[in-house]
């Protein structure tokens, strides 16, 4: 309860005060030029490079790691969730790493849904554009009749169009475009 109250108070602080408090008390690595809007962003570990930013009203919870490279950004109203490692429940015995790593000069624009039950990595100079795209690492394994998850990888110099869906196991190789309203559920062949 005390930890929740501290997070609420931290979320309400103005950014020039919030950044040093997050660094000191949460152990986050946030470059002095990085900025976070009025958002709920509390992964276990946060690394934000120079000039990186997270927009207003973005939610990020349940991740082990949120890492933003220099000049990268996550837009406003983006929902990023994970399922913490070691938490009791559906994913026992599955090797996974709930993290989101966004490369240098990359962008996730506004109003996307990102499920980081397993890792999502986005390369350098890549944009997840438009809005309403879904990156979903978890699903159901019908053969075993249980929850399952697999990572998603998006290479460097890529563009993902509006309202695209990437499912666990998806790999978008570098220098690729995934058009609007597309579905990618496996490694795309170069």
Backbone φ and ψ for 128, nearest 5 degrees, come out as -95, 100
pLDDT digit string, tens, across residues 85-99: 877 777 766 789 999
Take residue 138 and report the two structure tokens written for it.
């978890």
- For 48, residues 6+ apart whose C-beta sits below 8 A from its C-beta are 28, 29, 30, 31, 34, 36, 54, 67, 68
pLDDT in tens, 85-142: 877 777 766 789 999 999 999 999 999 999 999 999 999 999 999 999 999 999 887 8
* Confidence check: pLDDT of 171 > 90: yes
Q: What is the pTM of this model?
A: 0.94
Taking only Cα atoms into account, the Rg of the chain, rounded to an integer number of angstroms, comes to 16
Position with higher pLDDT, 190 vs 74: 74
Q: How confident is the model at residue 183 (pLDDT cuts 50, 70, 90)?
A: very high
Residue 12, phi then psi, degrees to nearest 5: -90, -15
């Amino acid at each position: 309860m005390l930890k929740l109250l501290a997070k609420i108070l931290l979320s309400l602080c103005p950014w020039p005060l919030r950044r040093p408090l997050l660094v000191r008390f949460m152990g986050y690595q946030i470059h002095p030029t990085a900025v976070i809007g009025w958002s709920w962003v509390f992964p276990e570990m946060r690394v934000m490079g120079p000039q990186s930013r997270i927009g207003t009203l973005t939610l990020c919870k349940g991740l082990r790691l949120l890492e933003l490279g220099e000049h990268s950004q996550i837009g406003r109203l983006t929902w990023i969730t994970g399922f913490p490692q070691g938490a009791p429940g559906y994913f026992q015995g599955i090797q996974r790493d709930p993290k989101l790593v966004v490369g240098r000069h990359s962008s996730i624009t506004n109003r996307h849904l990102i499920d980081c039950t397993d890792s999502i990595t986005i390369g350098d100079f890549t944009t997840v554009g438009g809005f309403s795209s879904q990156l979903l690492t978890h699903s159901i394994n019908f053969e075993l009749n249980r929850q399952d998850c697999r990572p998603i990888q998006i290479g460097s110099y890529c563009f993902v169009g509006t309202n695209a869906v990437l499912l666990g196991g998806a790999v978008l190789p570098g220098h690729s475009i995934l058009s609007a309203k597309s579905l990618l559920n496996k490694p795309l062949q170069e």
